[in-house]
C-alpha cells in the first residue's frame, strides 16, 4: 500500500507540474487550447480526489493524520475551489497563481510521503474529520483570497505608476479581482465558522486552544468573517480588503509551516 501511495503522490506532482506549464503557455499567449487544458485539470483533480478517497477509506477517516495527507488535501481544496471560481466567473487569468501554490504543496506532500514510515497515528472520529476538512477548506479559501488580494495590490500600483505592462494586459480589472476576492472570503468565512462550531463539541483542553495555529485560525475567522459581512465595497474599502487578504495569506503560510513541523493539530 505504501508503494501505491507514493506512486499516486509522485504522479499527481508530475500532473500538477504539467498543468502549471500549460497555464503558463496560456498566460503568455503561446497556447490557445484552453479547453483542452481545462479538461486536463479536471481530470487531474478527479484523480487526486480518488487518491484522497482511497486513503480515507484505508484510515477510516478524513486523511489528515500525517503531514503528507494534510498537504495533499489542502492542495486539492485550493485547486477545486479556484476551478469553481473559474467556472462561475469565466475568469482564469489568476488560476496559474493558485496552482503554483498547489504544486508547491504537492511537492511537500510527496516529500513527506516518500519519507514516511509504516507507523500510523491514532484514527480520528467523524466529528474530528468534519472539523479537519472544514478547516482545510477555510484555509484554502483564505489562500485564494490572498492570491487575489496580492494581485489586486500589484495591479493597482502598476496602474497608479503608469506601468501598463504584463499585469495590466493579462489580469482582469481591479473590480473583477475584488469580486473574486470577495467570493473567496465568503467561502473561507463559512468554512472556518463550521470549523469553530465543531470544535465546541470536541472537549478540547484549554492548552490546545492556545496553540499558535489555533490562535491564527481564530484571527483568520474573525477577520474574514467581518470581511464577508461587508457588502459590495468601493474606494478605500477595496484596498482594505486586499491588504487584509494579504495578511490572511501570511497566516496561511504560517499554518502550512506549522503543519510541516508539528503536523495537523486535529490529529
Residue 45 in this model has a pLDDT that exceeds 80 = yes
Residue with cell 478527479: 46
Interatomic CA distance for residues 91 and 87, integer angstroms: 8
Q: How many CB atoms lie within 10 A of CB 178?
A: 24
Read off the pLDDT band of 212 (50, 70, 90): confident
Read off the pLDDT band of 74 (50, 70, 90): very high
Residue 267 in this model has a pLDDT that exceeds 60 = no
- Tens digits of per-residue pLDDT, 216-231? 999 999 999 999 988 6
pLDDT value, residue 40: 82
Interatomic CA distance for residues 9 and 24, integer angstroms: 23
Residue with cell 514516511: 116
Residue with cell 506549464: 21
- Tens digits of per-residue pLDDT, 134-188? 999 999 999 999 999 999 999 999 888 887 777 778 888 888 899 999 999 999 9
Q: How far is CA 208 from CA 34, 77, 81, 212, 218, in A?
A: 46, 25, 29, 9, 13
Answer whether 143's CB lies under 8 Å from 101's CB: yes
* The dihedral sign for the CA sequence 113, 70, 210, 198: negative
Q: Give SS3 for 118.
A: coil
- Tens digits of per-residue pLDDT, 183-201? 999 999 999 999 999 988 8
Residue 122 in this model has a pLDDT that exceeds 90 = no
* The dihedral sign for the CA sequence 194, 200, 202, 207: positive
Distance from the Cα of residue 119 to its chain's centroid: 28
Amino acid at each position: 500500500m505504501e508503494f501505491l501511495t507514493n506512486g499516486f503522490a509522485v504522479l499527481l506532482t508530475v500532473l500538477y507540474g504539467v498543468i502549471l506549464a500549460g497555464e503558463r503557455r496560456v498566460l503568455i499567449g503561446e497556447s490557445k487550447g484552453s479547453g483542452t487544458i481545462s479538461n486536463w485539470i479536471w481530470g487531474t483533480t478527479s484523480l487526486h480526489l480518488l487518491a484522497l478517497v482511497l486513503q480515507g477509506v484505508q484510515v477510516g477517516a478524513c486523511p489528515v493524520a500525517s503531514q503528507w495527507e494534510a498537504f495533499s488535501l489542502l492542495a486539492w481544496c485550493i485547486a477545486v475551489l479556484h476551478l469553481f471560481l473559474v467556472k462561475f466567473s469565466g475568469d482564469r487569468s489568476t488560476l496559474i497563481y493558485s496552482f503554483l501554490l498547489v504544486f508547491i504543496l504537492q511537492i511537500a506532500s510527496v516529500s513527506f510521503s516518500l519519507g514516511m514510515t509504516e507507523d500510523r497515528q491514532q484514527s480520528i472520529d467523524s466529528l474530528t474529520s468534519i472539523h479537519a476538512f472544514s478547516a482545510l477548506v477555510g484555509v484554502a479559501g483564505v489562500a485564494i483570497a490572498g492570491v487575489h488580494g496580492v494581485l489586486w495590490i500589484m495591479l493597482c500600483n502598476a496602474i497608479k505608476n503608469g506601468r501598463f505592462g504584463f499585469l495590466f494586459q493579462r489580469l482582469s480589472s481591479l473590480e473583477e479581482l475584488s469580486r473574486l476576492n470577495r467570493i473567496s472570503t465568503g467561502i473561507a468565512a463559512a468554512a472556518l465558522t463550521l470549523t469553530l462550531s465543531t470544535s465546541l463539541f470536541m472537549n478540547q483542553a484549554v492548552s490546545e486552544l492556545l496553540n499558535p495555529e489555533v490562535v491564527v485560525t481564530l484571527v483568520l475567522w474573525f477577520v474574514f468573517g467581518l470581511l464577508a459581512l461587508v457588502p459590495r465595497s468601493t474606494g478605500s474599502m477595496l484596498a482594505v480588503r486586499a491588504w487584509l487578504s494579504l495578511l490572511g495569506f501570511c497566516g496561511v503560510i504560517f499554518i502550512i509551516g506549522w503543519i510541516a513541523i508539528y503536523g495537523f493539530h486535529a490529529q
